Amino acid sequence: MFHIKEVISPSLKEALLLVFLIVATISVSLVQFGAAPHLPILVSILLLIGYGLIKKVPYHLLESGLVKGAGAGMSAVFLFFFIGILISSWMMSGTIPTLIYAGFHLITPLFFFAIVFVISSIVGLAIGSSLTTVATVGVAFIGMASVLDVSLAITAGAIVSGAFFGDKMSPVSDTTNLAASIVHVDLFTHIRNMGWTTVPAFIISLVIFAFLSPDVAVTDVEKIMAFQEGLLKTGGIHWYAVLPIVLLIILTLMKVPAMLNLALSSIAAIALAYLHQSYHVSEVLSMLFSGYVSATGFADVDALLTRGGMQSMFFTIGLVLLSLSMGGLLFTLGIVQTLLGKIEKLLNKVSSAIAAAAMTAIGINILIGEQYLSILLTGQAFQGQFDKLGLTGKNLSRVMEDAGTVVNPLVPWSVCGIFITSVLGVSTLSYLPFAFFCLLCPILTVIFGFTGKTLTYKQAE
């Protein structure tokens, strides 16, 4: 979005005041009144338009900024549609239920916290939703931890770490697709590049959770068995149900564009579904649009599997378009340029630019408490600076996830923090010290920025 030219140059005081008003509007609306983020963002857009009109900026230029900002996210919009379709098709084919079912077989009496972390990671990776993972299998693990009389705080830390590993690395995660799209990076290129920070963070977290695991026997497996029984009720647990994932991996290695990859994998999953289900064409079309509805009779399993469809993406798409439109206005009115101009001399090194981008994503999470905005605004603000330094877009998209996606659950007043606390019954500050994966990712991304390791430059592509 850095290609949008400013039509005025506001003073630093005006720029700071406007940013403060926007942050205050969004923060108070989300935290104090529990509003959906769309409304305060829309109010912020009106605030910026009002400021522009006061400064005698022609309305058609303000409207042009809105449109250009929203236009930057159209590739993400189409990807989100295909993600919704992919999730529905993978539910129909049994791909996601089979992955989750296999994950539960990893439960052993030893290394309880490590196993909780691994299974939460598998489920999160399969469904691409951290909050759904926390609200379903996470609740089951908290129940087991209570029976075993082990630390609920560490258990919650393991759940959150695993869930957000999946949210960060899953090709069906909206945050993953958003981060890649906002800086125009291929989805699977983005995921592969995140491995440089994500894999070490995962391994270190796994070792720590294994070390912290108490020597207890998992005697009460009722909840886990209930999950497995419910998953079997879907009728989709088969070895061949993983074939759509195999196809997805093969197409990824062949560097097939993300949209075509998701579409082909969805088609394969739909075809596979007919091996064990007798769907009518109208049912398939309905599920692809409205989402898969699980009817096993097991409430937790049904809550976990009822998801997907194009319609499920409308909330995210609306938020993306509104946020990008606001970003377009911030650039059109020269607000971002004014703020960055004051610190540009400090961002003339790769290390400082990466650190500043990471701190911006973390700061937005702390000030506003919104995961998507931490990704969107960071990408908009630093894309131009990374380009000037010769860094490829995948460097920035990695920072956006390392310091944006996984930091949100660590903020007590954030959307994720409030939700997780209410669902697990463990306060954010209690599990924060044990959410090792979420703590390590931003640290590693800044360290690699200062060492220059794993960074990719344009001339090196």
Each residue's pLDDT, cut to its tens digit, for the chain (461 residues) gives 446 778 888 998 998 999 899 888 888 887 788 787 889 889 999 999 999 999 999 999 999 988 888 887 677 678 778 878 888 898 898 887 887 787 677 666 578 899 899 989 988 887 777 877 887 678 767 766 765 678 899 999 999 999 999 889 988 788 898 888 888 898 889 999 999 999 999 999 999 999 998 765 555 566 677 778 888 888 888 888 889 888 877 887 787 777 888 889 899 999 998 887 888 899 999 999 998 888 888 887 887 788 788 888 888 788 778 877 888 888 899 887 787 777 766 677 888 889 999 998 998 888 776 788 788 888 877 888 898 889 998 999 999 999 998 998 998 877 788 778 877 888 888 999 999 999 999 999 999 999 988 888 886 54
Domain ranges within the chain, ordered by starting residue = 75-313
Rg for the chain (alpha carbons), in Å?
22
| Residue 446, pLDDT score | 94
Phi, psi at residue 292, to the nearest 5°? -75, 135
Q: What's the rounded Cα separation, in Å, for the pair 46 and 23?
A: 14
Nearest to 66 by CA among 153, 1, 134: 1
Q: Cα 425 vs. chain centroid, distance in angstroms?
A: 23
Q: What's the rounded Cα separation, in Å, for the pair 127 and 226?
A: 19
Cα distances (Å, whole numbers) of residue 141 to 165, 218, 223: 17, 11, 8
| Residue 419, pLDDT score | 77
| Residue 445, pLDDT score | 95
| Residue 257, pLDDT score | 77
pTM over 0.75: no
Q: Which helix (H) or strand (E) holds 119?
A: helix 112-127
Q: What's the rounded Cα separation, in Å, for the pair 340 and 15?
A: 11
| Residues belonging to the chain | 461
| Residue 432, pLDDT score | 94
Q: What's the rounded Cα separation, in Å, for the pair 373 and 296?
A: 36
| Residue 312, pLDDT score | 82
Phi, psi at residue 391, to the nearest 5°? -85, 140
| Residue 143, pLDDT score | 61
Cα distances (Å, whole numbers) of residue 111 to 114, 164, 332: 5, 20, 54
| CA-CA-CA-CA dihedral for 375, 377, 382, 384, to nearest 10 | 120
| Residue 216, pLDDT score | 59
Q: Which two tokens mark 127?
A: 């469904």
| Number of neighbouring beta carbons within 10 Å of residue 127 | 28
Confirm if 197 and 445 have CB atoms less than 8 A apart: yes
Confirm if 83 and 89 have CB atoms less than 8 A apart: no
| Residue 108, pLDDT score | 63
